[in-house]
Structure 1
Amino acid sequence: MLALRLTEFAGPDALRLEEVDEPRAAGRVVVELDAAGVTYPDLLQSQGLYQVKRELPCVLGTEGAGTVREGPGFTPGQRVAVLASEGAWQQVVVADDDKVLPLPDNVPLTTAAALPVNYLTGHFALRRRAKVEPGETVLVHGAAGGVGVAALNLCRAWGLRAIAVVSDDRKAKVATAAGADHVVLVDGWLDAVREYTGRRGVDVVLDPVGGDRFTDSLRSLGPEGRVVVLGFTGGGIPTVKVNRLLLNNTSVLGAGWGEIVRQEPGYLRRQWDELYPLLADGRLQVTEPEARPLTEAGDALRALGERSVAGKIVLSLR
């Protein structure tokens, strides 16, 4: 089979397309992938900067979608999304059955390849960490990125009011299509949000960006508001002056979805059990990803690093 492997921690230039042996099943589920997702952690892994450093050579990618060849609990030919711990940028993967997620018939495989990481992260951040309630307002930074678009789609499915913060008009269109009720540009975003909310502020801020806008995220909160930290794609890791949290009884929460999945067996399946009916009946409308050939994976990673991507990129494997 074909696999795209990282040969050294030198970034996208170190990716090599190679013929390799198919992985062994050993009682696990074998999935023939049609497409695989591209995420920001893939870029960090390619540079050796991710918190978990893989042994080289290795296959990047953590998510994909395709059809089951064989495996306990699944029917051959069944359409699934999958979380592949040994890498998804290859044509065949094996996974434990709890990491293989059945798909409704109305979700195309290319679309499904964009689902697991970002949508389950968004679900975890909003439901479990922020504990969103009906009628609340959620502000999303990096709203045209993969996690941001997923969060906007989820807010729309759950009837939450969503404000998107983006860097340009092209990304504003992506955020609007994904479900944002209101879109503001990065320059002057805090004043725009205050005006839009009648100076009350927002209930939840989802922040995958970090950097120097974090303090203003705290200032944007209404009473008992919560900032949920998802990452630092902006490059800077901010600090919190905790006296700010006293003024409006606000909170700063971390959302490390991958760590919870490792710590709590069964949580991933419970998440999917909640999302599946939303997908099946169309309440959760997933924004279509941009599909690129596997040979353009390096370019996709570079685009993520330059923050020029709007929406989600997936790699076609067939």
Structure 2
Amino acid sequence: MKGYLITELLKGPEQLVLRTDLPPEEPKQGEVQIQVIAAGLNFFDILQIQGKYQWKPPLPFIPGSEFAGVVLRSTVPEYKPGDRVFGSNHSLAQIITASPRQIQPIPKGMTYEQAAAFYITFPTSYAGLVVRGQLQAGEYCLVHAAGGGVGLAAVQIAKALGATVIATAGSAEKLAVAKANGADFIVNYRDKNWTEQVKQITRGHGADVVYDPVGLVEDSTRCIAWNGRIVVIGFAKGTFEKLPTNRILLKNISIVGLHFGAYTQFEPETIQSTWDGLYKLHAEGKLDPVVYPKSYSLETVPQAMNALASRETYGKVIVKVSEESNSTSKL
């Protein structure tokens, strides 16, 4: 089958080499075997092939982390061959394996491409806003990097929950996409006075909840409301901040982090309640995963990763891995 295999850490995506001779992964007891139809790319996939991500899988490993596809073989009662599933595990190969806790059935009406854009970004954003940020209807929610996958998911979720959404991004194109997906106000965070713009939008009140996957916590403390909550999702800017903690005290601010994957170990019940909340909003037509319109294949994964790294893209970058088929003879 076709796929990528990391046997040694790389300097960057341009060093990826597509293999055509990889043996399909066989499912162990307690696993399912899946034909990957579409894979979603995340920024941390690039870090992981370089050995720079916080979770370092042992070599060799198949890169990628998010997928949607069809069950080929199953050793568990929850799934049977032919089931459409999406989930999180290594993904940039035509056939992979996963455990039931790593996958979910694809909701009715969702395409493989949309499903591959859903599994990591939407639970992260929902848990960040609802579980950690305690976002309430009528509050102001400031979403940074609102043109990216988790940012656009956060915009849609915050709007569905009844918040007034202020979206930031670094280009007119990404701001327009955020606006089209429910943002009430848009602000370019490259503007030197963007925090003043947020204050003006909120009429001096400030943002009640700040959703930050970038690393703009310090600046956000300048435009946050009394009792405001800043939710730290990631550090796409590439640096860790040092904060003037007097601002945290003076405004009664809470700064909380989110590591959604860790709920599997420490609070598994929160995983299920998060999916329940997301499925409800999706069934109500309030969530619509945004797929970047440029098409990528397994052969063009290096170009896809470089486009993601250079922030040329918006929404979720999807790789078409294989065509849905009842046979795997050609894989």
Distance 1:68 1:269 in 2: 22
2:301 is aligned, of 297, 300, 309, to: 297
Q: Does the alignment pair 1:201 with 2:206?
A: yes
Contact residue 146 and residue 312 of structure 1 kept, 8 A: yes
Instruction: Please state how far the C-alpha of 1:47 moved relative to its aligned partner.
Output: 1.6
Tell me, what secondary structure is at the counterpart of 1:75? coil
1:314 aligns with 2:318: yes
What residue number does 2:113 align with? Answer: 110
Alignment counterpart, residue 229 of structure 1, candidates 232, 235, 258: 232
The structure that is strand-richer by fraction is 1
Tell me the distance in 2 between the aligned counterparts of 1:309 and 1:284.
Answer: 20
User: In the alignment, is the contact (CA less than 8 A) between 1:6 and 1:14 conserved in 2?
Assistant: no
Query: Partners in 1 of 2:264 and 2:129 — Cα distance?
Result: 16
Q: Which deviates more from structure 2 when the two are superposed, residues 281-290 or residues 17-26?
A: 281-290
Structure 2 segments unaligned to the other structure (5+ residues): 323-331
User: Residue 54 of structure 2 aligns to a residue in which SS?
Assistant: coil
The runs of 4+ residues in structure 1 deviating greater than 4 Å are none
Q: What does residue 4 of structure 1 align with?
A: 4
Which residue is equivalent to 1:16? 17
1:152 to 130, 137, 155: 155
CA-CA distance at 1:277 after TM superposition: 2.6
Instruction: Determine if contact 2:14/2:303 at 8 Å carries over to the other structure.
Output: no
Which of 63, 76, 84 is the matching residue for 1:79?
Answer: 84
User: Which residue is 1:25 aligned to?
Assistant: 27
| 1:141–1:206 Cα contact (<8 Å) kept | yes
Partners of 2:63 and 2:227 in 1: CA distance? 40
Cα distance, 1:115–1:129 mapped onto 2, change above 3 Å: same
Which residue identity is paired with 1:206?
Y
Please list the CA deviations of residues 241-269 of structure 1 after superposition, one character each: whole Å capped at 9, or x if unmatched.
22111112111111111222343335433
Moved more, 61-70 or 280-289: 280-289
Measure the CA separation in 2 of the matches of 1:289 and 1:74.
30
For the 8 Å contact 1:129–1:255, the answer to whether it is kept is yes
Q: Any idea what the Cα deviations from partners look like across 1:162-187, whole Å, max 9, x if unmatched?
A: 11111111111111122211101110
Distance between the aligned counterparts of 1:70 and 1:7, measured in 2?
27
Q: What SS does the corresponding residue of 1:286 show, helix, strand or coil?
A: coil
* Contact 2:227/2:252 (<8 A) preserved: yes
Q: Which runs of 5+ in 1 are unaligned?
A: none
Q: Aligned partners of 1:60 and 1:266: how far apart in 2? A: 29
TM-score normalised by structure 2 residue count = 0.90
Q: Which amino acid aligns with 1:306?
A: S
Give me the whole-angstrom Cα distance separating, in 1, the residues matched to 2:298 and 2:267: 33
Judged with a 3 Å threshold, the aligned counterparts in structure 2 of structure 1 residues 251 and 130 are, in CA distance, closer, same or farther, namely same
Q: Give the letter for the 1:236 counterpart.
A: T
Alpha-carbon displacement from aligned partner over 1:5-32 (angstroms, at most 9, x marks no partner):
2343222123121121111212312221
Equivalence map 1:115-154=2 (5 Å): 115-154=118-157
Q: How does 1:225-304 map onto structure 2 within 5 Å?
A: 225-290=228-293, 291-304=295-308
TM-score, length basis structure 1:
0.94
Instruction: Please state whether the residue corresponding to 1:51 is helix, strand or coil.
Output: coil
Residue 179 of structure 2 corresponds to residue 192 of structure 1: no
CA, structure 1 residues 78+165, in 2 after alignment: closer, same or farther (shift >3 Å)? Answer: same
